[in-house]
Amino acid sequence: MKNKSKLFTIGLVTSWYSSNIGVLLLNKYLLSNYGFKYPIFLTMCHMTACSLLSYIAIAWMKMVPMQTIRSRVQFFKISALSLVFCVSVVFGNISLRFLPGEPSFHLFGFIMCIAATAARALKSVLQGILLSSEGEKLNSMNLLLYMAPIAVVFLLPATLIMEENVVGVTLALARDDIKIIWYLLFNSALAYFVNLTNFLVTKHTSALTLQVLGNAKGAVAVVVSILIFRNPVSITGMLGYTLTVFGVILYSEAKKRSK
């Protein structure tokens, strides 16, 4: 049973890594190479897809039983998680506009990366509480079902205020190149899978493990990004990511010894 559980966890982490890096690279391509400079709208597309696909999976396909929100406090916790999640993703997407390659450096892009990382850490803790608290326990798919529409509510006014006429610009781009629509649809669907596997990894590991794995994922994404986008590599950047991988190894060893 232990071996099966370990293989299941490895499969979850692999799925999370693959889909996450796929979304990251496609976001990077859209925001940096393609010239689609609307990170908030892109995040809203992701959350809209998560809302629709979560409802289809739970209400229509009956993949898991639908759970209800039990209290106002639980609703506020889910809302807080949605807000923190929006901040982490939007800041991460904004950073891609200034850091077209992970090993590159831009001060504002760096600040956005740090802010996104801090928000992701807070999100992981809140997520862990909502997935494990006995009084307010929600399975991962139901949490995403309730979280995603709330995130859309937060993102819609931000998009309208900060990214004026984004719909008109997108339609104009689609008239010249229909592939932009397919990029957005595929990217949004993949984002649903990222969030689903993210919640499942949190449930089967811990918030701290998720954060450590997320940092290691950044190093893997760098290698893939360099191979695809041919980004320049600095010695300082490579030393930083080597240190990240070394930290992940130390954490893994410390966790083994604690058991």
Q: Could you report the per-residue pLDDT of 170-194, keeping only the tens digit for each?
A: 999 899 889 999 999 999 999 999 8
Burial (CB count <10 Å: 0-12, 13-18, 19+), residue 229: middle
H or E element: which one contains 157?
A: helix 140-162
More confident residue, 228 or 86: 86
pLDDT in tens, 128-154: 776 666 666 777 788 889 999 999 999
More confident residue, 165 or 122: 165
Q: Which residues contact 97 (CB under 8 A, 6 or more apart)?
A: 31, 32, 37, 39, 109
pLDDT in tens, 93-136: 776 666 556 555 667 666 776 777 777 777 777 777 766 666 66
- What proportion of the chain, given as a percentage, has pLDDT over 90? 19
Q: Quick one: pLDDT band at residue 55, thresholds 50, 70, 90? A: very high
More confident residue, 224 or 166: 166
Mean pLDDT, range 10-26, rounded to an integer: 85
- What proportion of the chain, given as a percentage, has pLDDT over 70? 70
Other beta carbons within 10 angstroms of residue 21's beta carbon come to 18
